[in-house]
Chains A and B, each alone.
Chain A
Amino acid sequence: MLSETVLKEIEEIKAKYPSARSALLPALYVAQREFGWQSEKAMQAVAQALNLPEAEVRGTATFYSMYKHKPMGRHLIQLCTNVSCMILGAERLVDFLKNRYGLTQNGTTADGRFSLVIMECIGGCDMAPAMLLNTDFYGDLTEEKIGEILGGYK
């Protein structure tokens, strides 16, 4: 269930649009923040709050890659491997994360500290290879640099 405060937050989002359904994407973000991922419970709660069929909520929630369908680690690494990052060495970073942290696509470290999502372009091509760590951009990455950065996230 969603708390009163969160329900109120969703009501406020609804007010920004001429139809309640338009609040679905933002409401899914809210649910993800509250539940950590799009669990059955999370999607049910959103369906209820917006008075939508659960199937519609699930259909939308599974279409977009930023909604997570399993629990994630405390910190989310979103590493770009698209062409601009690839030609400047993103693949080495993928290998490094695998060898050093055991991280693979959509995986989480055993201690629950990091999850890795390999992204399509994140618009950080001027600082390729680049990643988003939670909501922060990091660029010009090397194995050494990424190791250092991750060290700062407990």
Chain B
Amino acid sequence: MENFLLKNIENPDSADIEEYLKIGGYKNIAKAFELEPKAIIEEVKKAGLRGRGGAGFPTAMKWSFAAADPKFPKYLLCNADEGEPGTFKDRPILEKNPHLLIEGMVISGYALGAEYGYIYLRGEYPHAKDVLNKAISQAYEKNYLGDNILGKSIKFHLAVHQGAGAYICGEETALIESLEGKRGQPRTRPPFPVNVGAWAMPTVVNNVETLCNIPYIISIGSEAYSQIGSKDCPGPKLYCVSGCVEKPGVYELPMGTSLKDIIFNHAGGIKGGKKLKAVIPGGISTPVLPESMIDCPMDFSSMPKHGSMLGSGAVIVMDESVCMVKVTYRALKFFEHESCGKCTPCREGTEWLRKSLGRIERGEGREGDIELLQEISENIMGKTFCPLGDGAAGVVLGMLKHFKGEFEEKIKAKGSRV
């Protein structure tokens, strides 16, 4: 499969509008403007596009809710928070292919009736901020953004909003709070952002990669697009592989490529010829899989059947030398730090989990600690305001399911396993 999302990124000037135009960039805007907005939503629906931000929500459905709301103005927000540990799949687009994102946003805005867009960019990507701002001003100059795009009286304005280091702001309602200048704490739903979102107006939040698939659908048509990858969630997918592999990096592959294939064929296998032990397949919030379970298609519907989730497509590979207790402890340190404090099960639960895990990790584990971890996790799962808490609990439960022995061993031995 030829790359679309990562097309031309080996070109050192790929972020420049002239280079993008040379490879046929921005042509899909004109093509999309030939269609009625409704027809574009229909195309995206037929294409079967599902959101790449982690939840796999059908994009056309989200759009149609916002489009049907009579309130104006509507807003299109691009989620470029990319905070899920292990995830760096949007970074090559943001740093090297910004015009693809802009093109996707202009078409999406037209389809759902939004004339204003913001890219919510994580504070940890300062280089991407400069690239995006430059690309946006180039797009204004060439009339791909503004009040009268391509002379068609179609309006779309775009700006970058920089986050400031808070994982929770990747959650779409917290993202909206943060865009409004507040602490990033999730909102109660309903009402959903598609009806009451940014500044109380209909708002669509889509991931970077999702929006970059729109020009592709327009370009090759929904029929051809729907033939790529998995049947019920087609299209190209960016998988980012890190940890103990020979060739870490971002790989654009058909959705549903097997985890084994991603690790061994694309990412070059395990570093230094060591033995694979476990994989976190979709970012730190997704349950771990032991080596014996990696023969599974990486898509939204298959992964839950294999006991995990596609998440952000962030594959973290761990070889035989990696201690699972340590990984779990580090993950929980993260969740405790990032818990926004709004709801009790997450705020307190992540702290208790971190403390109990820390004790085991330091060799001070007590009998009953495993049951305690289990119980705290179960008391978080499904009881929190947003999925951050579920993620934390799922990590611990997944680790206990597959690597309980390692925890027991460490409690008994009262020391590190290394």
Contact = CB atoms under 8 A, between A and B. Distances in A.
B129 to A, nearest CB: 9
A53 B165 CA distance: 23
B400 interface: no
Contacts, number: 132
Nearest to A63: B183
B337 A120 contact: yes
Contact of B183 (A16, A18, A60): A60
Nearest to A123: B88
Contacts of B180: 19, 21-22
Interface string A4-38: 00000000000010110111111011000000000
Nearest to B328: A83
Given A66-B164, A83-B327, A83-B330, A88 B249 contact: no
B147 interface: no
A2 interface: no
Interface stretch (B55-63, B79-87, B227-235, B344-352): B79-87
B164 A126 contact: no
A78 B124 contact: yes
Given A21-B181, A122-B124, A83 B280 contact: yes
Given A19-B199, A23-B181, A135-B126, A87 B162 contact: no
B181 A125 contact: no
B250 A84 contact: no
A104 to B, nearest CB: 16
Interface string A35-66: 00000000000000010000000011001111
Interface in A50-97: 50, 59-60, 63-67, 78, 81-84, 86-88
Contacts of A120: 83, 85, 167, 334, 337-338
B166 A64 contact: yes
Contact of A83 (B125, B183, B240, B331): B331
Contacts of A146: none
A69 to B, nearest CB: 13
B365 interface: no
B224 to A, nearest CB: 30
Given A123-B88, A137-B127, A29 B162 contact: yes
Contact of B248 (A23, A29, A128): A128
Contacts of B125: 123
B21 interface: no
Interface residues of B, number: 53
Contacts of A86: 326-327, 330
Greatest chain A CB density within 10 A among B91, B122, B181 is at B181
A65 B242 contact: no
Given A83-B85, A87-B243, A25 B199 contact: no
B159 interface: yes
B163 A126 contact: no
B80 to A, nearest CB: 10
A46 to B, nearest CB: 10
Nearest to B94: A123
Nearest to B126: A135
Contacts of B123: 64, 66
B162 A84 contact: no
Contacts of A81: 330
B181 A60 contact: yes
B162 A123 contact: no
A66 B250 CA distance: 27
A112 to B, nearest CB: 22
A19 B284 CA distance: 35
Given A83-B284, A125-B240, A132-B124, A16 B159 contact: yes
Contacts of B166: 63-65
B38 interface: no
Contacts of B334: 82, 120-121
Interface in A96-154: 119-128, 132, 135-137
B327 A87 contact: yes
Contacts of B85: 82-84, 120-121, 125
A122 B91 CA distance: 11
B162 A22 contact: no
A28 B318 CA distance: 39
B162 A119 contact: no
A25 B316 contact: no
A81 B87 CA distance: 14
Given A60-B183, A87-B318, 8 more contacts: A19-B199, A24-B182, A64-B123, A78-B124, A87-B327, A88-B243, A128-B248, A137-B127
Lowest 3 A-B CB distances belong to which pairs?
Answer: A24-B181, A125-B242, A64-B164
11 contacts: A16-B159, A21-B182, A22-B161, A24-B182, A26-B162, A66-B123, A78-B124, A84-B86, A122-B124, A123-B87, A125-B314
